[in-house]
Amino acid sequence: MAHAVNWFEIPATDFARAKKFYESIFGAELQMGVDPSGRQTAMFPVDWQKGEVGGNIAAGEGCVPSTDGTIVFLNAGPNLAKVLARVEPAGGKVIQPKTRLPMEGAGYIAFLVDSEGNRIGLHSYE
């Protein structure tokens, strides 16, 4: 098994707001689409040819944001502090600041609540 995660989906109730939130904090454009069940989606940038893992935000039937349950950790790139600084201006809330992981070389994590009410983790090595 190359990756424990193959795909992730972040639920949204206000699709436009959620898309704007993630584009704002990551400084990247999400690709609009519709999934097979007809739900609106916006996919995070991914290079399938390099074996990267992708995911999206989705709005529609069954998409219920929550701070409980499974947590998705998104790659904050080389500078976690830079992404965290964009969270609150974009409409989210940092609920755990940048915290060093106890394992040598494992990097740093932080937690936020996004514009939709989902608890999301961020990870970086710096």
CATH number of residue 15's parent domain = 3.10.180.10
Say if 45 falls within a structural domain: yes
Reference 42, options 66, 68, 11, 67; nearest CA is 11
Which residue range(s) make up the domain with 42? Answer: 7-124
- Count of domains observed in the chain: 1
Model confidence pLDDT, tens digit, residues 86-114: 999 999 999 999 999 999 999 999 999 99
Say if 60 falls within a structural domain.
yes
Q: What is the pLDDT of residue 5?
A: 84
Q: How confident is the model at residue 1 (pLDDT cuts 50, 70, 90)?
A: low
Taking the model in full, what pTM does it have?
0.91
Percent of the chain with pLDDT over 90: 87
Residue 2 lies in a domain: no
In a domain, 108, yes or no: yes
